[in-house]
Amino acid sequence: MFGGKGYILRGSVSLALVIFILLMLTTLLASEETPLRASLCDVQLCNYAKGKCVRDKKRPLYSGYECKQWLSSMWACRVMGRPDFSFEGYRWQPQGCNMPLMQNKTIAFIGDSLGRQQFQSLMCMATGGKDSPEVQNVGWKYGLVKPIGAPRPDGWAYRFPSTNTTILYYWSASLSDLVPMNNTDDPPRLTAMHLDRPPAFMRTYLHRFDVLVLNTGHHWHRYKIEGNHWVMHVNGTKVVEGEFLKDISHAKAFTIHSVAKWLDAQLPLHHPRLKAFFRTMSPMDWNTGGNCNNTVPLSRGSEITGDDGSMDATVESAVNGTRIKILDITALSELRDEAHISGSKLKPRKPKKTASNVTSTAPTVNDCVHWCLPGIPDTWNELFIAQI
Ligand SMILES: *[C@@H]1O[C@H](CO)[C@@H](O)[C@H](O)[C@H]1NC(C)=O
Ligand SMILES: *[C@@H]1O[C@H](CO)[C@@H](O)[C@H](O)[C@H]1NC(C)=O
Ligand SMILES: *[C@@H]1O[C@H](CO)[C@@H](O)[C@H](O)[C@H]1NC(C)=O
Ligand SMILES: *[C@@H]1O[C@H](CO)[C@@H](O)[C@H](O)[C@H]1NC(C)=O
Ligand SMILES: *[C@@H]1O[C@H](CO)[C@@H](O)[C@H](O)[C@H]1NC(C)=O
Ligand SMILES: *[C@@H]1O[C@H](CO)[C@@H](O)[C@H](O)[C@H]1NC(C)=O
Ligand SMILES: *[C@@H]1O[C@H](CO)[C@@H](O)[C@H](O)[C@H]1NC(C)=O
């Protein structure tokens, strides 16, 4: 079984079904065509980005206290002392449904910290948030080891021996190839950011992935790019001063189109094993002046209907006409502004002692980018699993 313990959902509707299937995987795979499979609706009719947000008594899928093995405490709003948790009790109900197959699969997330949230969410979902000593850390197989002096490795990879499923995450905020530059004026240490070249990690390990989920978006700001000392390159040479920097959204679109084009050209070489997804941008709440303090679920409505395209036109157009599938989570996540980390100003529960042993006033977190977990990235994963 997938992860073994916990994670039991007895729901009847499609999303719950997907989770149930994860649990029953072994049995299902062992039997022949099941009625379950036969009753799945036509994929043509499914649009995972449309649907509605409904209350679900079986939520949350795991405990934000318990999932310590995978979940960063800064994203575990229960640990961080958020007072309201009504946001945990909803799920997304799309029209679609499909059969996930996870056994013997390697599922890779490559992207920014929102991709890392989705990765941690999937680990918690797969284990029901319970400690799972049987899960193997196989990061070394992908070169994901903590360099000396670094705060953390560039990613993580874990294998579930019972299903031979590996889930991994690699941090690539921009989905471009970052190569240290040979500059002597140190500091700052400059890094060439090759907008037309996917990260080396992706080129190296693509042949070992069965499913790949890409995302980028939140690092495409002048201050982040300059702050990281990233120097944009195209065609192997530094771009003309200002050409992309004066319009970062152009650089972002150029990069997203480049990586999608590269990946699409690779897919036939890995067919039919490899399935690729590009997740649309996670909405951030600038509307409230960066003060996403709503705590009332569904105050923005509960439903997405209509035939409009994705709210993320860049990703939508980049994958249009390719074999890459869109994982369109923007609109449904935007309904859920109350589930960002900072609905209330959070402070870590146990104030940290500083070097001088003075109890510091914990800085108030006002994070309108990341999501509390359990929470919205769980929904992204349900949509993702349903589409594998
Ligand atoms: C695990 O899955 C891989 C394919 O992803 C396969 O090559 C390997 O034989 C499997 N190992 C076991 C022990 O089932
Ligand atoms: C997983 O891999 C093992 C070993 O290669 C194989 O026996 C088994 O049938 C595979 N399962 C699936 C669902 O492919
Ligand atoms: C980096 O600089 C060193 C010393 O100036 C030089 O020998 C080397 O060839 C340079 N490498 C590249 C890739 O430019
Ligand atoms: C990169 O090279 C291509 C083809 O040679 C050219 O069309 C394009 O303008 C170049 N881009 C930049 C930014 O130099
Ligand atoms: C929420 O944020 C808005 C906009 O910044 C502000 O006007 C309002 O007073 C805040 N409400 C609470 C309860 O903090
Ligand atoms: C996708 O590409 C087709 C053909 O180029 C075009 O007609 C269509 O408008 C595009 N759709 C989107 C959503 O960009
Ligand atoms: C901080 O506290 C520790 C133990 O409580 C003590 O050993 C240390 O000397 C203290 N440091 C300072 C700067 O007061």
Quick check: helix, strand or coil at residue 205? Answer: helix
Q: Which residues of 146-168 are buried (b: 16+ CB within 10 A; e: fewer)?
A: eeeeeeebbbbbbbbebbebbbb
Separation CA 193–CA 178 (nearest Å): 5
- Residue with CA at minimum distance from ligand 1 atom 4: 104
Ligand 4 close to Cβ of residue 259 (< 6 A):
no
Question: How high is the pLDDT of residue 343?
Answer: 53
Q: Where are the domains of the chain?
A: 13-387
The residue contributing the CA closest to ligand 2 atom 5 is 104
Atom number, ligand 2, closest to the C-alpha of residue 101:
13
Query: In tens digits, what is the pLDDT along the chain, a chain of 388 residues?
Result: 343 333 322 233 344 334 433 443 333 333 322 222 222 223 345 566 677 777 888 889 899 889 999 999 888 988 887 888 888 888 777 654 333 457 899 999 999 999 999 999 999 988 888 899 999 999 999 999 998 988 999 999 999 998 899 999 999 999 999 999 876 666 678 999 999 999 999 999 999 999 999 999 999 988 889 899 999 999 999 998 667 767 899 999 999 999 999 999 999 999 999 999 999 999 876 555 556 777 777 777 777 777 788 999 999 999 999 999 999 999 889 888 888 887 545 555 454 555 554 444 445 557 888 999 999 999 999 889 888 8
CA–CA separation, 102 vs 381, rounded Å?
13
**Closest C-alpha to 108, from 21, 202, 23:** 202
DSSP, collapsed to helix, strand or coil, labels residue 237 as: strand
State the pairing for strand pair 230-234/191-194.
Answer: parallel
Query: Is any atom of ligand 7 closer than 6 Å to the C-beta of 354?
Result: no
Closest approach atom of ligand 4 to CA 235: 1
207 in contact with ligand 1, CB cutoff 6 A: no
Indicate if ligand 5 lies below 6 Å from the C-beta of 289: yes
Locate the ligand 4 atom nearest the alpha carbon of residue 239 and give its number.
13
Closest atom of ligand 5 to 293 CA is 1
Ligand 1 atom at shortest distance from the alpha carbon of 105: 5
Cα 302 to ligand 5 centroid, rounded to whole Å:
22
Q: Which residues contact 297 (CB under 8 A, 6 or more apart)?
A: 53, 86, 87, 89, 90, 336, 338, 339
Which amino acid would we find at residue 146? K
pTM of the model: 0.80
Tell me the ligand closest to 273's alpha carbon: 1
Q: Is the CB of 356 under 6 A from ligand 7?
A: yes
Sheet holding 275-279, edge to edge: 136-137, 155-160, 165-171, 106-111, 211-214, 275-279, 325-327
Q: Is the CB of 239 under 6 A from ligand 4?
A: yes
The per-residue pLDDT for 184 is: 66
* Residue 250 Cβ contacting ligand 4 at under 6 Å: no
The reply to whether omega before 83 is within 30° of 0 (cis) is: no
Tokens of 215: 């995302």
Give the mutation target among 354, 357, 358 for probing the ligand 7 site: most ligand atoms within 8 A of CB: 357
User: Which structure tokens are listed for 357?
Assistant: 């042993």
Residue of the nearest CA to atom 4 in ligand 6? 321
- Residue nearest atom 6 in ligand 1 by C-alpha distance: 104
The beta strand positions in the chain, using DSSP E, are: 51-55, 90-94, 106-111, 136-137, 155-160, 165-171, 177-180, 191-194, 211-214, 230-234, 237-238, 275-279, 303-304, 325-327
Looking at residue 223, what is its pLDDT?
Answer: 87
Give 178 Cα–ligand 1 centroid separation in angstroms.
32
CB neighbours (10 Å) of residue 387? 21
The reported pLDDT for the residue numbered 289 is 54
Residue nearest to ligand 4 atom 3, measured at CA: 235
Q: Which of 164, 207, 274 to mutate to test the pocket of ligand 1 (most atoms within 8 A of CB)?
A: 164
